[in-house]
Amino acid sequence: MLYPIILSGGVGKRLWPVSSQTNPKQFQKLFNNKTLIQNTYDRILKGFDKNNIFVITNINSSDYIKDQLDIDNSNILLEPEAKGTAMAIGLVTTKLYSLDKEAILVNINSDAYIKEVDKYLEVIKQAAKVASDRAKMVLVGIKPRYPETGYGYIELGDKDNIASLFKIASFKEKPDLDKAKEFVEDGKYLWNPTLLVFSAKKLLEWYSKFLPKIYKSLIKIQEANFSPEIIAKEYAKSENISIDYGLLEKMDDMLVISTDITWADIGSWRSLRDVLSNGKKDNVSNVKNISIDSSNNLLYSSSDKLIATLGVEDMVLVETDEVIFLCPAERSQDLKILLEKMKKEKLDKYL
């Protein structure tokens, strides 16, 4: 059986100040009348039974999940603290393996925008068949539409005998603009949305080899029948590491399916602007605005104030009850640096 697992434990720092520690971005309505996680859940429901969809989130966000999604409590796994995606994916994999020894999982992030939903669901199921038949880790890669510096990339290796299926030569971290242009022009690089498809049994074997400490913690949790007390105890001593660093970069026999869909990680104000503008250079705003000689700006307000701009281009302006944030759109990926400075200056109340 194929089980989509939705990861929903992040804070979304690059969408501050709308996304905060107490109200993360995945629970916000940013581009329609549904939150990011509601859009993700509805998208998955078009191809899967709700009983097979699981969500893993932190304890503080459990009420958001219950309020926003029509999902049984038994399909929600709670993390006592954030310890990276390796532990999160490991926990839900262990849970599903205890329920179904033949389980195939697909890792879904809760904050993506996808236009061609049917094609997206089809490629997930194609990847699941490959993962099951060959006992491999299979990723889905997106053909890049422009040189994006905010995404990681997958370098394609040798082509497989199945159409659009390749070996993975390497992973590339978020590049600078010149390098991103090289990747796009080369044609052998894909955006990496960290869309992973794997069998639960094989993932636990890989953890045993490459992440032995986390694996031992997961086994203790399983033996304790997923007791919240034991989960908290094992999380407290677990290393904080992503599945990318902890596992994927140590493996040398993975596959990737290349697909051409309209995808965006709603991870920054610039990416949100680009989704909402649909490739045009118009201003994007959620409130009434008036502009002269102004274009390609994102103007967001949590109130009903009029926003007026004069001679402004490629900017992000965000207003909440307590904060006004302004930056060039091309610098929106650097928001974490600003938040680190705020923390050093003891401005935590605004975080």
Write the DSSP assignment of 209-241 as a string of letters. HH-HHHHHHHHHHHHTTT-HHHHHHHHHHS---
Indicate the number of domains in the chain. 2
Q: How confident is the model at residue 234 (pLDDT cuts 50, 70, 90)?
A: very high
Task: Identify whether residues 66 and 169 lie together within a single domain.
Answer: yes
Let me know the angle formed at the C-alpha of 333 by 319 and 148, rounded to the nearest 5 degrees.
125
Task: Identify whether residues 188 and 285 lie together within a single domain.
Answer: no
**For position 315, what pLDDT does the model report?**
96
- The CA distance from 11 to 351, in Å, is 10
Distances 82 to 8, 207, 275, 298 between C-alpha atoms, Å: 11, 19, 29, 31
pLDDT for 278 beyond 80: no
* Residue 57, domain CATH: 3.90.550.10
Task: Identify whether residues 203 and 274 lie together within a single domain.
Answer: no
**For position 292, what pLDDT does the model report?**
94
Q: How confident is the model at residue 146 (pLDDT cuts 50, 70, 90)?
A: confident
Percent of the chain residues topping a pLDDT of 70:
99
Read off the pLDDT of each residue in 163-173 and give the average, rounded to a whole number.
92
**For position 235, what pLDDT does the model report?**
96
For 333: left if phi > 0, alpha if psi spans -120 to 50, otherwise beta; the answer is alpha
The domain of 340 spans 270-350
Task: Identify whether residues 281 and 189 lie together within a single domain.
Answer: no
Task: Identify whether residues 119 and 234 lie together within a single domain.
Answer: yes
**For position 240, what pLDDT does the model report?**
94
Task: Identify whether residues 197 and 288 lie together within a single domain.
Answer: no
pLDDT tens-digit profile of 171-196?
998 898 899 999 999 999 999 999 99
Percent of the chain residues topping a pLDDT of 90:
73
CA-based nearest residue to 267, from 191, 190, 319: 191
Which residues are CB-neighbours of 106 under 8 A, at least 6 positions away? Answer: 2, 3, 4, 5, 124, 127, 128, 195, 196, 197
CB 197 within 8 A of CB 139: yes
- Between residues 256 and 33, the one the model is more confident about: 256
**For position 128, what pLDDT does the model report?**
96
pLDDT for 41 beyond 80: yes
Q: Out of 267, 287, 307, pick the residue that ends a domain.
A: 267
Task: Identify whether residues 108 and 16 lie together within a single domain.
Answer: yes
Which residue's structure tokens are 């033949």?
Answer: 102
Task: Identify whether residues 166 and 99 lie together within a single domain.
Answer: yes
Q: Out of 267, 287, 315, pick the residue that ends a domain.
A: 267
- Between residues 176 and 86, the one the model is more confident about: 86
Task: Identify whether residues 187 and 172 lie together within a single domain.
Answer: yes
Q: How confident is the model at residue 3 (pLDDT cuts 50, 70, 90)?
A: very high
Tokens of 104: 């195939």
- The CA distance from 264 to 213, in Å, is 34
Task: Identify whether residues 74 and 161 lie together within a single domain.
Answer: yes
Q: Out of 205, 240, 267, pick the residue that ends a domain.
A: 267
pTM of structure: 0.89
Let me know the angle formed at the C-alpha of 76 by 73 and 77, rounded to the nearest 5 degrees.
130
Mean pLDDT check: name the lowest of 194-203, 241-250, 263-272: 263-272
Task: Please report, to the nearest 10 degrees, the dihedral formed by the alpha carbons of residues 242, 260, 332, 149 taken in order.
Answer: 70
Task: Identify whether residues 167 and 247 lie together within a single domain.
Answer: yes
CB 115 within 8 A of CB 145: no
pLDDT for 333 beyond 90: no
- Burial (CB count within 10 angstroms: exposed 0-12, middle 13-18, buried 19+), residue 49: exposed
Q: How confident is the model at residue 18 (pLDDT cuts 50, 70, 90)?
A: confident
Task: Identify whether residues 13 and 138 lie together within a single domain.
Answer: yes
Strand extents, DSSP E, the chain: 2-7, 54-58, 76-79, 104-109, 112-114, 138-142, 152-159, 165-172, 189-199, 255-259, 263-265, 284-285, 289-292, 298-301, 307-310, 315-319, 324-328
